[in-house]
A and B are shown apart, each in its own frame.
Chain A
Amino acid sequence: MSNKSAETATPIKQSRFNFKNLTRRPESGALAGTIIVYGFFVLFGGSEFTSTGGFATWLNTGAELLIIALPVGLLMIAGEFDLSVGSVVAASSVTTALVGGTWGLPTPIAVLVALGLGTLSGYLNGLMVTRTNVPSFIVTLAMQFALAGLTLGLVRVFTGTTSLPIAGDETTTKLFGGFFFDQFEYAIFWAIGVTLVVAWVLQKSKYGNWIFALGGDTQSARAAGIPVEKTKIALFMATGFASSLVGVIQTLIYNGAQTGGGQSFVFNSVIAVVIGGVLLTGGYGSVFGIVLGTCTFAIVNQGVYYTGWNSDWAALILGILLLAAVLMNNTFRRAAMSTGEKKKK
């Protein structure tokens, strides 16, 4: 066989930039979505939407959501769900206020306890999913309800109320719940930090390869020697940690905690991730896509207040957007699969 000559005759092609390749990027659909939605609200929301205040409103919402959506996205790429994020936000929020407020311990300790609790709940999720092989959809749904009940029950036993105040120390409060330029939450910096870490893990480190492989075909991943259980547990722990981070941030922004807070993150994170082009069944997705999906979500969610319409319409737009995004993503994914030249004979 003349393998050698064939090899040297066609040099290995480096990907170069062209428009056709761009349309085949998985994020293209998400990018189009963000631009269209932004344009829509610039048109109907007017100058107030594009003002600093308007910008800050959706950016703040987006930042908090992004902190949770990114690890949820990683989990989804690995083929798993986490529907317990809402209760983890609430539980860690309440824990921060209980430890730092009601019990009067130093705020940093309260924050550490809350973050530990979130990570622990993620660990339990991961352990149950990998040990029992019950779908993570069910395991984390159970966790969502159980943890909500536990939080409510314990808080009532300890304090007799469901709403706890906290007056945190200045440094810690500023670090998690502070504002810069008056209107922008420090959560934006946390979101950027989480984005950089997750982007590194998914797109640069070898663990990213494991995550894609897990979602692509768990059996083959196992056969290739990937520590399937450990990787999954680590991902659930990351989601738990991120959710509790948001819990801490919200508590220190509002100087208090509600047992019922944070529940909207359950579906909002899934919507943001799916709009961002992550495949619901796993194996496909990108950090840039998740960031765009989250922006799109936040713009619609907050933009509707600037239009002067009833805010009820936001949910309708999100519903339509979600469906459109999935259809569009399927198209882009097919295009991505069909890259390369035609068969030469």
Chain B
Amino acid sequence: MSKPILKLTNVSKSFAGVQALEDISLEVEPGKVLCLLGDNGAGKSTLIKILAGFHKPTSGSMFVNGEEIVFNNPKDASAQGIATVHQFGGTFPLMSVARSFFVGEEPTKGIWPFKYFDNKHANEVAVREVRKLGITRVTDGNRLVGGLSGGERQSLAIARAVYFGAKVLILDEPTAALGVKEATHVLRLVMQARNQGIAVILVTHNVLHAMTVGDHFAVLIHGKKADDFAKGERTREQITDLMAGGEAMAELEAELNTLTGTINQIN
């Protein structure tokens, strides 16, 4: 077992007295995929925001490569190689592919104060990197991102993160808005990143997608870690039950049975 690149111990977060996360401990290893599962409102987003430096935990600590660390802003997190890709790709629909690719890391040429954005270089790199991920439709970096499909935008964002040396790639619901074919493509990219030795944190509520690519799983319920297991330790039904709140689901089923029962009686 290799050393975890990113580790959380007993992390809690509360917003104005409301407990969003309670006592979360997690580990991610390089070249592994950690799937973060949970229903809406389970605290997944808060957890990623802590990892990405948007929020500071109320208590608990974070370690990168075994060293304790505090992120004051998203820049601190990206300096440690933690890159987040949001549901809509974190890209800018009305910007060109090349400009979008280099936001915040613009390549410049010339001498100050006449440093200018090197559009040619940006175009070449962006198109090359995106094509590497199988988006062959992009041949011109001046195209607007808005003209790409959801999956292509995800790929662009992943290509960007990998190009800028991400060691931990956090994907927030990457497949939620995609069709089956595009979702498969994005999952393939996840595996590609994993094989390059990148630690991937995949946030999803699609159990099937998670089970396809995940090495390790953590299930969040109401801000607490309800379960934590490695690949093959649980069945799909067990995970779905857990996510839906298990007992609550059984109760609902029973309730529905009585309801339909009554309806049948009336008829």
Residues of A at the B interface (CB closer than 8 Å) are: 1, 3, 6-7, 10, 12-15, 200, 204-206, 208-210, 212-213, 216-217, 219-226, 279, 283-284, 333, 336-341, 343-344
Q: Is the interface of B mostly helix, strand, loop or mixed?
A: loop
Interface string of B53-87 (1 = CB under 8 A from A): 01000000000000000000011001000001010
In the assembled complex, which residues on chain A have CB atoms less than 8 Å from the CB atom of B116? 200, 204-205
Q: Is B179 an interface residue (CB 8 A)?
A: no
B128: nearest chain-A partner, CB-CB: A7
CB of A217 within 8 A of CB of B144, answer no
Q: Is B234 an interface residue (CB 8 A)?
A: no
Knowing A208-B117, A338-B147, say if A333 contacts B104 (CB, 8 Å): no
13 residue pairs bridging A and B, Cβ less than 8 Å apart:
A12-B139, A205-B108, A209-B117, A213-B103, A220-B90, A222-B74, A223-B74, A224-B74, A225-B75, A226-B103, A337-B93, A339-B140, A340-B143
Closest-CB distance, A252 to chain B (whole angstroms): 29
Query: B104, A6: Cβ atoms under 8 Å?
Result: no
Most B CB atoms within 10 A — which of A6, A205, A219, A344? A205
- Contacts A12-B139, A209-B103, A212-B92 known; 18 new A-B pairs at CB < 8 A: A7-B128, A15-B142, A204-B116, A206-B108, A206-B117, A208-B117, A212-B99, A216-B92, A216-B93, A217-B90, A217-B91, A219-B90, A220-B91, A225-B104, A279-B94, A283-B93, A339-B144, A341-B139
Number of residue pairs A-B, CB distance < 8 angstroms: 120
4 closest Cβ pairs, A-B complex: A216-B92, A224-B104, A206-B106, A220-B90
Task: With CB as the reference atom, state the residue of chain B lying closest to A334.
Answer: B146
Does B124 have its Cβ within 8 Å of any Cβ on chain A?
A: yes
Question: Of B92, B124, B142, B144, which one neighbours A213 at CB under 8 angstroms?
Answer: B92
Give Cα A219 to B106, complex, Å.
Answer: 18
A217 to B75, CA, bound (A): 16
Decide if B41 is an interface residue (CB 8 Å cutoff).
no
| Complex contacts, B146 vs chain A, CB 8 Å | 337
> Do residues B137 and A221 form an inter-chain contact, with CB atoms below 8 A?
no
